[in-house]
Amino acid sequence: MSRPSGKPVRKVVTEGRFLRFVRIGTWEAVERTSPRPAVGVAALTVDGEMVLVEQWRPPMGSAVIEIPAGLVGDLPGKSRESSASAARRELLEETGFRAARMRRVCAGPVSPGITDECVELFVASGCRRVASGGGDGDEAITVHVVPLRGVEAWLARRERRGIPVDVKVRLAIAFLEAESRLQDRRRPRTIRM
């Protein structure tokens, strides 16, 4: 599809505390009132488990299984926070896990047909529980720790119970499976005689 010629007229239709509804030419979209990047974390424990969160999402009308995620610099005094720091903070805040290693693996738009929001995805490995998690403020997050080898079956059971799974979870699984294979290759082999 080619880009339309000329610059389309952009009009703010309505604005709330966190979101702005805009019309760009004939297209309708949603923007954050305070544009900040988002981060998501694919977390792998020292025991080879994936760390997931479940929380009520009003637009869905149900709880949703997700990876730990949040906005960069959205807390008072954190306006200059880096994406990596935000990923570490969100992982700890939502799940109670701290990562030994954290690396950025990709970034991009999450739903470009409706919003300009982009997410940076991080892989957190060597995670250990150091707190209870559960989120902050008005968040009510349930933490799930699921063996990576059985996560697809676990997700299928949740979906059969009517609990949607965010598609970023599937992307996170692919990155964690690759991370797990990489860690297996790095482990020293013991040869018994």
Burial of residue 121, with CB atoms counted within 10 A of its CB: 0-12 exposed, 13-18 middle, 19 or more buried? buried
pLDDT at position 43: 98
Reported for 23-29, long-range contacts at CB under 8 A and 24+ positions apart, including other chains, are 28/114, 29/114, 29/115, 29/116
pLDDT at position 190: 59
Distances (CA, A) of 66 to 24, 143, 165: 30, 10, 6
Q: Indicate the average pLDDT of the chain.
A: 90
pLDDT at position 139: 79
Q: pLDDT exceeding 90 applies to what percent of the chain?
A: 73
pLDDT tens across 111-143, in order? 999 998 999 999 999 999 999 888 877 778 999
Q: For the ranges 56-65, 80-89, 147-156, 182-191, which has the lowest average pLDDT?
A: 182-191
Per-residue pLDDT at 193 exceeds 60:
no
Domain ranges of the chain: 38-186
Per-residue pLDDT at 35 exceeds 80:
no
Q: For the ranges 14-23, 96-105, 148-157, 175-184, which has the lowest average pLDDT?
A: 175-184
HEC string for the chain: CCCCCCCCCEEEEEECCCEEEEEECCEEEEEECCCCCEEEEEEEECCCEEEEEEEEECCCCEEEEECCEEECCCCCCCCCCCHHHHHHHHHHHHHCEECCEEEEEEEEECCCCCECCEEEEEEEEEEEECCCCCCCCCCCCEEEEEEHHHHHHHHHHHHHCCCCECHHHHHHHHHHHHHHHHHHHHCCCCCCC
Residues 6+ apart with CB under 8 A from 85: none
Q: For the ranges 97-101, 147-151, 175-179, which has the lowest average pLDDT?
A: 175-179
Angle between helices 151-160 and 167-186 (to 10 degrees): 160
Top mean-pLDDT range of 15-24, 33-42, 48-57, 76-85? 48-57
159: left (phi over 0), alpha (psi -120 to 50) or beta: alpha
Domain 38-186 has CATH 3.90.79.10: yes
What is the average pLDDT across 149-161? 97
What is the average pLDDT across 82-100? 96
* Amino acid identity at 135: G
